[in-house]
Amino acid sequence: MRMRELDERARAALNKAAALGEDIDLDSFLTDSPRYEKIDDLKRLPEQDRQRMLMAGIDTDGRQRSGSYLQKDGSPVFSAAFQEGLEIVPIKEALERYDWLVDFYWNLIPVDMDKYTARARLNLQNGYLIRALPGARITIPAQACMYIETNGFSQNVHNIVIAEEGSELHMITGCASATHVARGVHVGISEFYVKKNAKLSFTMIHHWAEDVAVRPRSACIVEEGGLFLNNYISMKPVRSLQMAPVTSLVGKGAVARFYSLLAGHPGSELDVGGRVILRAEETRAEIVSRSITNGGTIIARGDLIGEVPGVRGHLECHGLILKGGVIKAVPELTATAEGVEMSHEAAVGKIAQEEIFYLMSRGLTEEESAAMIVRGFLNVEIPGLPRPLQQEIDRAVELSRTEMM
Amino acid sequence: MLIIENLQVKLLNKELLRHIDLEIRPGETHILFGPNGSGKTSLLMTIMGYPQYEVTAGKIWFNGEDITHLSIDQRARRGIGMSYQRPPAIRGVKTRQIVEMCAGNPEIVEQLAERLNFSDFLDRDINVGFSGGEIKRSELLQLMAQKPELALFDEPESGVDLENIAIIGNAIDELLERGHLPRYGKSVKEEKESRTRMGLIITHTGFILDYITADQGLVLYDGVLACRTNPMEIFKQIRSVGYEECVRCGCAS
């Protein structure tokens, strides 16, 4: 019944362009691809794939992970949890297994938001349910990898992440394409539920190819005392990326923190936003983005809406133009109640010469000085993030930074 | 040895320094006085090699080499270092990283920082949110790690609280090998003769003179070196009658 209704709404939105970003012609991509067999060990993957996945933070040895989900094109090829209290199930299977899950499916994101959401419903390939059971402490990160194997493929996934009451869950998702993939599109729907006093950290590293278009559609709801920590890293060339996740803090004392590290390359356009709505008392939000560009366009948006007295929020958009390109910072603050404390800080420019000279007077060459400054610029310390995840972020950033400079 | 010959410097087409002649021999420390805007910082920045300070005439020699047109880092590698009055803050770059890089040896960093009462700041972003006094300690720490043959100090004591001024004064004294105690079995005379480090220190308040001795005092007035004599004498004179007298007294060449 509900599915039929969703389908109808999706069909009506099949040609609805998104409010932001280049309009992608989805019909020019393949919707079929070979069905890949399930594997019982990520170590069996071809070495080349493992290397690509590693760049996106995916550990195919699986030693430092509490569970893994891997999807190749449309096929879930691996899905297993190794820690009690953690559940990892392909979404199609999960929707069959759990009656209650339907209430979490297309609950935070309207299916008819745009043509990408419509596709993700009408041509759902798969995705995952990852869930930490009440009180479970999943401190070793769980990982999920969305991999495009077929050139020209249009990957549509739907993910639901639930951190049940009092649980703690850390996740890393790596999205990557095989080396032979030049072109593709990835539509990823993600709905996050952070229940009372739960803590969810979600770190996403994108490692696509030069002609891949990416349209994530995510939303999150955080209940009383909950924490949602979202990190997004896209340092590799990608043709077009547009996303604007929405997070609602609905319970007292809920906290959301967003960190993005973005790199623009010639010919690429990244439009990355984030809206947090502070709906309950004592809620707090922080949105931090750091962008560097070598010729691409980056639009870094941040949007805080304070609806209750006493809530606090801070936005920080900093951009550095290294060699050409455009960076646009769009910070927005809206208060609809008295006593809302929200602020923003935006700065866009090139590396300050004064800083370069300062380091040169300590003996570094001009290039070494610039490298140290950019490394520092991208060195955002994320409180509450487990060390291995911080290391994955640092590695992804450092690899790309050295390639760019 | 630093030799500056008939130096003339422009910044944004404005002449800042004229006919500067200066010689700092190995082991010597000179104190540079002068009212605000007289060109003291410009002289230090020119010696360090900041390209916006355009040398329109004259030469700078360091250890027998003409360095007038060398870049900042080339000068740093030849042994010139600077303690800035207002260094830039660099987000994400840790003080420790820079000090380690200056020292070329991470092991001595903690020990040096402890001496300057600065250990708590090593893991902070360089100069971000530092107070005036903290900046001075951070600058000095970097120089102590770098150990330049010629150290340029731009008001090393300004903004430093009383508790730390002795720490700073004594550390500069040691960096410039000005110590007056017989060490390592050497007599004071031998110590003095074995000094090689050179210093050029800008001071406004003169407090630093309570801690270090210097060989020569100089007054820079309106872009010209107007007076050279005993630094304590200059300081006392400035304190009692101000800078005008310095020029009027006829020391001006």
Four-way CATH pick for B2-251: 1.20.1250.20, 3.40.50.300, 3.30.70.100, 2.40.30.110? 3.40.50.300
Tell me whether residues A378 and B92 touch, CB distance under 8 A.
Answer: yes
CB A324 within 8 A of CB A296: no
CB nearest to B76's CB, from A355, A362, A378:
A362
Tell me which residue in A352, A355, A364 faces B73 most closely, judged by beta carbons.
Answer: A364
Mean local confidence (pLDDT), B31-44: 93
pLDDT of residue B252: 46
Q: What is the pLDDT of residues B182-206, one digit of tens each?
A: 666 777 777 777 889 999 999 888 8
Q: What is the pLDDT of residues A154-199, one digit of tens each?
A: 999 999 999 999 999 999 999 999 989 999 999 999 999 999 999 9
- Tell whether A82 is within 8 A of chain B (Cβ): no
Least confident segment among A20-34, B14-28, B174-188, B212-226: B174-188
Residue of B nearest to A366 (CA): B73
pLDDT digits (tens, 9 = 90+) for B114-155: 999 899 999 999 999 999 889 999 999 999 999 999 999 999
Classify A339 as helix, strand or coil.
coil
- Find which of A317, A362, A364, A397 to mutate to test the B interface (most B CBs within 10 Å of its CB): A362
Residue pLDDT, tens place only, A54-73:
888 888 887 789 999 999 99
CA distances from residue A173 to A17, A91, A294 in whole angstroms, order as listed? 27, 16, 26
Cα of A347 to nearest chain B Cα, Å? 13
Q: Judge whether residue A278 has pLDDT over 90.
A: yes
Question: What is residue A71's predicted lDDT score, i.e. its pLDDT?
Answer: 96
Percentage of residues of chain A with pLDDT beyond 70: 100
Question: How high is the mean pLDDT of chain A?
Answer: 94
- pLDDT at position A119 over 60: yes
Encoding tokens for residue B27?
């082991």
* Between B239 and A328, residue with greater pLDDT: A328
Cβ of B72 within 8 Å of Cβ of A352? The answer is: no
**pLDDT score of B212:** 87
What single letter denotes the amino acid at residue B230? Answer: N
Phi, psi torsion values for B191, nearest 5 degrees: -55, -50
Residue of B76, B87, B93 lying closest to A376 (CB–CB): B93
pLDDT surpasses 90 at B15: yes
Stretch A232-242: mean pLDDT, rounded? Answer: 92
Q: Which residues contact residue B49 at a Cβ distance below 8 angstroms, ignoring those fewer than 6 apart?
A: A361, B67, B70, B71, B72, B74, B75, B80
Query: How far away is chain A from the Cα of B110, in angstroms, using its nearest Cα?
Result: 18
A-B C-beta contacts closer than 8 Å: 61
Query: Is B90–A380 a contact, with Cβ atoms under 8 angstroms apart?
Result: no
| Interchain proximity B98–A359, CB inside 8 Å | yes
Contact A258, A288 (CB under 8 A): yes
B84 touches A at CB < 8 Å:
yes
- Tokens 């008819």 identify what position? A112
Q: Report helix angle B132-146 to B95-103, nearest 10.
A: 30
**Per-residue pLDDT at A114 exceeds 80:** yes
| Band (A110; pLDDT cuts 50, 70, 90) | very high
**Which pLDDT band, with edges at 50, 70 and 90, does B164 fall under?**
confident
What is the number of alpha carbons within 13 Å of residue A290 lying toward its C-beta? Answer: 20
Local structure of B181: helix, strand or coil: coil
Chain B touched by A363 (CB under 8 Å): yes
| Alpha helices in B116-207, H assignment, sequence order | 132-146, 162-175, 188-194
Question: Where along chain B do its domains lie?
Answer: 2-251
Token pair recorded at residue A55:
């760049």
Q: What is the pLDDT of residues A290-308, one digit of tens each?
A: 999 999 999 999 999 999 9
What is the per-residue pLDDT across A360-385, written as a single tens digit (0 to 9) for each?
999 999 999 999 999 999 988 887 78
**What's the average model confidence in pLDDT over A79-83?**
95
Q: Which of A355, A365, A372 sits opposite B88 (nearest CB)?
A: A355
pLDDT band at B181 (very low <50, low <70, confident <90, very high): low
Q: How confident is the model at residue B253 (pLDDT cuts 50, 70, 90)?
A: very low
Give the separation between CA B95 and CA A375, rounded to whole angstroms. Answer: 14
Decide: A278 and A248 in contact? Cβ < 8 Å.
no
DSSP string, A227-279: EEEEEEEE-S--SEEEE--EEEE-STT-EEEEEEEEEE-TT-EEEE--EEEE-
Q: Give the H or E element holding residue A284.
A: strand A284-293
Residues A278-282 have a mean pLDDT of: 97
What is the average pLDDT value for chain B, to the nearest integer? 90
Q: What is the pLDDT of residues B46-98, one digit of tens each?
A: 999 999 999 999 999 999 999 999 999 999 999 999 999 999 999 999 999 99
